[in-house]
Chain A
Amino acid sequence: MEGRGDSILNTVERYYKDYGLRARELRNEGRRLTGYVCSFVPLEIITASGCIPFRVRGDIHEPITTGDTLLETIVCPYYRSCFDLSVKQKYDFLSGMVIPHGCDSMVRSFSAWSYSLPFPYFHFVNIPTVCDQSSIEFFSAELNTFKKSLERFVGKSITEEDLAKAIRVHNENRDRVRDLYEFRKTDPPLISGTELTRTLTVGSSLPVDEANGLYDRVSAEIKQRERSPVKKGPRILIDGACLDNVELIKLVEELGGSVVADTICNGARDYFPKTDIGGNPIDALARRYLEKVNCPKTYRANRAGTFEGDIASRFGDTGVYAKEFKVDGSILYLYKYCDPFGFEVPARKAYYKSINVPLLHLEDVYSAGTMGQLRTRIQAFLEMLG
């Protein structure tokens, strides 16, 4: 991807605004792009098949219209927005769509996707809800089924070498994202939360090797910076599901906070865990996606036997990030009707209390129109943190 102007971040902004710009070019060159949602689709298998994984995102500026004639409004507004844009042909360059069991809405609406969109390829990945040895075995078999369905679609077999190579390049991608997160550790951070989330969002619309190149260029540019783009202020962790529009982060930064960490699906939840190298690649992928991606969708047994032990094991990664990135407070930002996150809000609040990190819980409807209403709460929270 070639940029205009002197800064790679200007290019990022352009690709962020015109999401899918590069994908359209690739499609015109004859490449096959496979859309996906959620952090549970093993992208390595898509890459190994020769297709390009493309993260379908929503748009908080676009009112949900056609989508609501095909999906009920009990589905969370984020997912409805992704669906709405798809049926309005925003992603008509895709050749297929892969949806995992990331939440009940994804399961129940899969058929609506498959009969409302004209793509030749659809696949539903069944993700176990628990994390036992039997679930890993089941999930490995399920991933083999996914692999076979892609093989049929592209008309060639996916070898172990293809998979090993894809695992390596996706791990490299995660290493680069980790490097970008390192820039958040200074106070104030060298990279703003808005810049980082924009960069990662654009990255998820590119072939993984191109995303790696992009992250390298962003890293090189940030390294040259002498000053932070944001003023020193309370250091904020954003906790929640997928945040693929930067407006909330921008608002926090406008009001004087620095977004320095997150647990979001298009952030740490997805990019921090890596796939183990060596051994059977499908088994390694099964372990990475089921055991290492920490999402409330997966039930993890209470091994400690106490409430305190349970919340420490379920949300411990948040505490680790809070320490590592020297967080002053956290904003738990959830979409209305998001059941997986909604159910565990009380436990999550208790966890924040136990680690002594102040928390602001916001519920929103995935619309730019509600940002003004969040302003007061965020401003008051930042003032409280001092």
Chain B
Amino acid sequence: MGYVLGIDIGSAYSKGIALGDQGTVDSSVCPSGGDLKLTAERVKEELSFRNGISAHDIMRTVATGYGARSVIFADEVRSDVACHAKGVSSLLPTVKTVIDVGDLYTKVLRIDRNGGVHNFLLSGKCAGGSGRILQVIARVLRVKVEEIGEMSLKSKKRVDFNTGCAVFSESEAISRISEGVTKEDLLAGLHRALAAQINSLVERIGVEPDVAMVGGGARDLGLVKALEEIRGHAILVPAEPHLTAALGAAIIGREQLKKKIES
């Protein structure tokens, strides 16, 4: 049947999935940068080049994410809410509640096992409660964003963070550093504060188990643990949580293709 591409252009990172007849063939991730059209092309090129996929092997492309409309070669644009739901249900069919911690928003979705969306809620328009602060704090502490999860788990005395705003959190972090707290304790405090904000969004929509966490934020083990601690139950995280929207987009594309062939 050839390949179906799912491309998720997020505000921080762009992700692509190539789906073949037997499932996912390859994935690609790169920073979104300032030229989203070019980024979309790059994601496609990388997937094609690495896997020897020629242009006419690509049967369908479904785009999603904040910059979805920049994927000019896409056959269809779908919301990342629908795509995450599809992607998560294919990987973790028991999940009914999905928490997606992205760079721009945090979203909570109530889904069924076929990936249908029953309800959803997004964090406010500002970056409060989104994953953006994780990147900000990594820059302040001069560590890699991939490292902050592990560091946070080593904390001995978590600091209390008072602000929910990403901008104010940065200033609060800087003043804590000047007070001499360790990076580990600071990160643990920040994770706790962010998890509390995410949890209030989760509570507003209501929870049905199982609960999964996806998006770039779910790669941060410190954040996942902090949310588990607040909620008092385990949270499932797929192996590559940042790719679920791209995967869902590709699955939606494949389903559409099947329907077309059948009719």
Contacts and interface: CB of A to CB of B under 8 A. Distances in A.
Interface of A: 358, 363, 365, 370, 373, 376-377, 379-381, 383-384
B81 interface: yes
13 contacts: A363-B124, A363-B125, A376-B66, A376-B80, A376-B105, A379-B77, A380-B79, A380-B81, A380-B82, A383-B82, A384-B82, A384-B118, A384-B119
A363 B121 CA distance: 12
Nearest to B117: A384
Contacts of A376: 66, 79-81, 105, 122
Contact of B78 (A358, A381, A383): A383
Interface string B87-118: 00000000000000000010000000000011
B123 to A, nearest CB: 11
Nearest to A386: B116
B120 interface: yes
Given A370-B125, A383-B82, 5 more contacts: A358-B119, A376-B66, A380-B82, A380-B120, A383-B117
Interface in B41-62: none
B49 to A, nearest CB: 30
Majority SS at the chain B contact face: mixed
Contacts of A383: 78-79, 81-82, 117
A383 B68 CA distance: 15
B125 A380 contact: no
Contacts of B124: 363
6 nearest CB pairs, A to B: A380-B81, A380-B79, A379-B79, A384-B117, A383-B82, A373-B125
Contacts of B117: 380, 383-384
Contacts of A384: 81-82, 117-120
Contacts of A379: 77-79
Nearest to B78: A383
Contacts of B118: 384
Contacts of A363: 124-125
Majority SS at the chain A contact face: helix
Nearest to B84: A380
Contacts of B120: 380-381, 384
Contacts, number: 34
Nearest to B77: A379
A377 B78 CA distance: 11
A303 B78 CA distance: 46
Contacts of B78: 379, 383
A269 to B, nearest CB: 26
A358 B77 CA distance: 23
Contacts of A370: 125
B252 to A, nearest CB: 10
A379 B105 CA distance: 15
A45 B4 CA distance: 65
Contacts of B80: 376, 380
B124 to A, nearest CB: 7
Nearest to A377: B122
Contacts of B105: 376
A379 B69 CA distance: 12
B187 to A, nearest CB: 29
A358 B120 CA distance: 11
Nearest to B125: A373
A365 B125 CA distance: 10
A235 B43 CA distance: 36
A376 B105 CA distance: 11
B245 to A, nearest CB: 11
A233 to B, nearest CB: 14
B190 to A, nearest CB: 25
Contacts of B66: 376
B166 to A, nearest CB: 15
Nearest to A361: B121
Interface string B121-153: 010110000000000000000000000000000
A256 to B, nearest CB: 11
B251 to A, nearest CB: 14
Interface string B63-86: 000100000000001111110000
A358 B121 CA distance: 13
A379 B79 CA distance: 6
A358 B122 CA distance: 16
Nearest to B120: A380
A358 B110 CA distance: 14
Contacts of A380: 79-82, 117, 120
A380 B111 CA distance: 13
A196 B82 CA distance: 31
A267 B236 CA distance: 47
Contacts of B77: 379
A2 B13 CA distance: 52
A20 to B, nearest CB: 31
A377 B79 CA distance: 8
A60 B259 CA distance: 42
A372 B122 CA distance: 14
Nearest to B105: A376
A384 B205 CA distance: 15
A381 B77 CA distance: 14
A381 B79 CA distance: 9
Contacts of A365: 125
A377 to B, nearest CB: 6
A370 B81 CA distance: 19
A368 to B, nearest CB: 14
A95 to B, nearest CB: 39
A381 B122 CA distance: 11
Contacts of A373: 125
Contacts of B122: 376-377
B205 to A, nearest CB: 11
